[in-house]
């Protein structure tokens, strides 16, 4: 292959998502020849899909509030964000000609609310910097004399499957940013897990994150309330307490409020085989106020009409009460008030990984040094969602992908220039 002709130092980046592109930017700026390979016909497909509902680049909250969003991996992610903090993302976007604004929730979006203008400008700048893009190149692993082995790994030969057959590419340093395991149709299929496991790299199983959950709905809910938005409710589960909204699906529940609690709900389901989330259908009302309003004379009104008249409770919220409460609970004002403030909703299982917005699991961070180089494979760096961290939606996912790509890119540049 002629990719490296005339160049002494070359970097191979595998994966054309946000982390891989950010690493390419760093390496090219350091004067290193960069070849970026991606299995898909075009780059940044999941990035573009995320932007269809308004590209949430990052969040405006202070860094000390930002860091805890990464849970158990917060301190490790802090080191990445110290090098490329959330506010730097807005400045970086501005350099690409993309202005951003802070929404009412504190989330940061491009003014045009689209991902495509930013991606086009980014790829154009990378191309001008000398980055070579190789789409339809699916990585199949390393090969050294026909044997995959750490001990014999020298100049990092890479095997790619292409439309013209299998090829082998050599590079002085390799950076892998292949994403997690959700949305396989866009390129993140998690196939890399087996490749790295064979090389002795410990990988935590990929699991759905920011996902929906199955609920055993009655036929009435499935047919009458498919797609219904449950608004202005609070979800309580363990130490999680948050107000927001979610959507009913034929299979269960999904939406921003569910995603925010998804890691806790998923972990409980895995550990205990079941989880019951609690919904406060009227978070602006106290339990005592709900009781007092329900105790008003009902006259000849049905319970449904009484709930609407006294509590302004109707539609999907009323349907949820009928779905989960017994006749006895519905008939008792005290029990009914208590359930309106704490309605138990049993969950059966997370929705499949491929439906999730993102994935948890991946390469254990203990396998990597502070520059995101694999300790067992010197000269191989990793970044992005394929590492074992997770975060809620709200700009936190993209921010850590950008930052980890930058850290790994700097590490790879330092490594290659020392060789």
φ, ψ of residue 253 in degrees (nearest 5): -135, 150
Whether pLDDT at 393 is above 50:
yes
Taking a C-beta distance cutoff of 8 angstroms, is the pair 198, 184 a contact? no
DSSP assignment of 146-157 equals TB--TTT--S--
Taking a C-beta distance cutoff of 8 angstroms, is the pair 18, 151 a contact? no
pLDDT at 417: 86
Q: Give the pLDDT mean for 221-248.
A: 97
Instruction: Write the Ramachandran bin of 268: left for phi over 0, alpha for psi from -120 to 50, otherwise beta.
Output: alpha
Whether pLDDT at 6 is above 60:
no
Whether pLDDT at 258 is above 90:
yes
Structural domains for the chain: 10-208+359-418 (3.50.50.60), 213-350 (no CATH)
pLDDT at 1: 32
CA angle 326, 328, 330 (to 5 degrees): 70
Whether pLDDT at 4 is above 50:
no
Q: How confident is the model at residue 77 (pLDDT cuts 50, 70, 90)?
A: very high
SS3 176: strand
pLDDT at 93: 97
- Tell me the percentage of the chain whose pLDDT exceeds 90: 89
Q: Are strands 10-14 and 173-176 parallel, antiparallel or unpaired?
A: parallel
Q: Give the pLDDT mean for 241-252.
A: 97
Q: Give the pLDDT mean for 148-169.
A: 76
Q: How confident is the model at residue 144 (pLDDT cuts 50, 70, 90)?
A: low
pLDDT at 156: 67
Q: Where are the beta strands (DSSP E) in 5-57?
A: 10-14, 33-37
User: What integer best gives the mean pLDDT of the chain?
Assistant: 93
Whether pLDDT at 15 is above 80:
yes
- Tell me the percentage of the chain whose pLDDT exceeds 70: 95
pLDDT tens digits for range 361-382: 999 999 999 999 999 999 999 9
Instruction: Write the Ramachandran bin of 200: left for phi over 0, alpha for psi from -120 to 50, otherwise beta.
Output: left
Whether pLDDT at 151 is above 70:
no
Sequence-ordered list of residues with C-beta below 8 angstroms from that of 16, at least 6 positions apart, any chain:
36, 37, 38, 40, 43, 44, 133, 135, 187
pLDDT at 406: 98
Give the residue from 213, 264, 258 showing the smallest Cα distance to 234: 258
pLDDT at 51: 76
pLDDT at 207: 97
Is the alpha carbon torsion for 2, 160, 408, 84 positive or negative? positive
Taking a C-beta distance cutoff of 8 angstroms, is the pair 205, 227 a contact? no
pLDDT at 155: 59
The enclosing H or E element of 81 equals: helix 74-83
pLDDT at 150: 44
Exposed, middle or buried by CB within 10 Å (0-12, 13-18, 19+), for 60?
A: middle
Q: Give the pLDDT mean for 108-137.
A: 96
Q: Give the pLDDT mean for 296-323.
A: 95
Taking a C-beta distance cutoff of 8 angstroms, is the pair 6, 106 a contact? no
Q: How confident is the model at residue 145 (pLDDT cuts 50, 70, 90)?
A: low
DSSP assignment of 263-332 equals HHHHHHHHHHS-EEEEEES-TTS-HHHHHHHHTS--TT--HHHHHHHHH---THHHHHHHHH--HHHHH-
Q: Give the pLDDT mean for 32-37.
A: 97
SS3 226: coil
pLDDT tens digits for range 44-64: 999 998 878 789 999 999 999
């Amino acid at each position: 292959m002629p990719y490296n002709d005339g160049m002494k130092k070359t970097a191979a980046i595998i994966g054309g998502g946000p982390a891989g592109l950010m690493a390419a930017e760093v390496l090219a700026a350091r004067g290193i020849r960069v070849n970026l390979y991606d299995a898909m016909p075009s780059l940044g497909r999941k990035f573009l899909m995320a932007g269809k509902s308004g590209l949430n680049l990052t969040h405006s909250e202070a860094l000390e509030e930002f860091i805890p969003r990464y849970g158990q991996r917060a301190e490790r992610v802090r080191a990445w964000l110290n090098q490329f903090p959330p506010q730097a993302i807005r400045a970086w976007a501005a350099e690409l000609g993309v202005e951003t604004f802070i929404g009412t929730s504190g989330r940061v979006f491009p003014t045009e609310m689209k991902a495509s203008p930013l991606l086009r400008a980014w790829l154009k700048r990378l191309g001008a910097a000398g980055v070579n893009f190789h789409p339809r190149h699916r990585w199949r692993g390393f090969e050294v004399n026909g044997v995959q082995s750490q001990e014999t790994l020298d100049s990092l030969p890479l095997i790619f499957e292409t439309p013209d057959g299998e090829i082998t590419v050599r590079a002085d340093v390799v950076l892998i940013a292949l994403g997690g395991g959700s949305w396989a149709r866009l390129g993140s299929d998690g196939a890399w897990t087996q490749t790295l496991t064979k090389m002795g790299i410990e990988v935590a199983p990929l699991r759905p994150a920011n996902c929906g959950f199955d609920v055993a709905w009655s036929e009435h809910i499935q047919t009458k309330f498919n797609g219904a938005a449950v608004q202005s409710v609070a979800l309580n589960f363990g130490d999680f307490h948050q107000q927001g909204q979610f959507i009913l699906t034929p299979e269960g529940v999904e939406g921003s409020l569910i995603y925010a609690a998804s890691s806790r709900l998923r972990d409980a389901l895995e550990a205990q085989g079941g989880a019951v989330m609690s919904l406060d259908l009227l978070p602006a009302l106290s339990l005592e106020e709900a009781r007092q309003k329900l105790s008003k004379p009902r006259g000849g009104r049905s319970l449904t009409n009484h709930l609407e008249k006294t509590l302004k409770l109707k539609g999907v919220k009323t349907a949820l009460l009928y779905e989960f409460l017994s006749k006895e609970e519905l008939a008792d004002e005290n029990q009914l008030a208590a359930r309106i403030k704490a309605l138990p909703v049993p969950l059966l299982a997370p929705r499949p990984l491929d439906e999730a917005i993102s994935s948890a699991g991946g390469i254990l961070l203990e396998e990597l040094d502070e520059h995101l180089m694999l300790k067992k494979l010197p000269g191989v760096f990793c970044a992005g969602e394929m590492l074992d961290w997770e975060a809620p939606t709200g700009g936190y996912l993209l921010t850590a992908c950008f930052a980890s790509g930058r850290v790994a890119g700097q590490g790879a540049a330092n490594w290659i220039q020392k060789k």
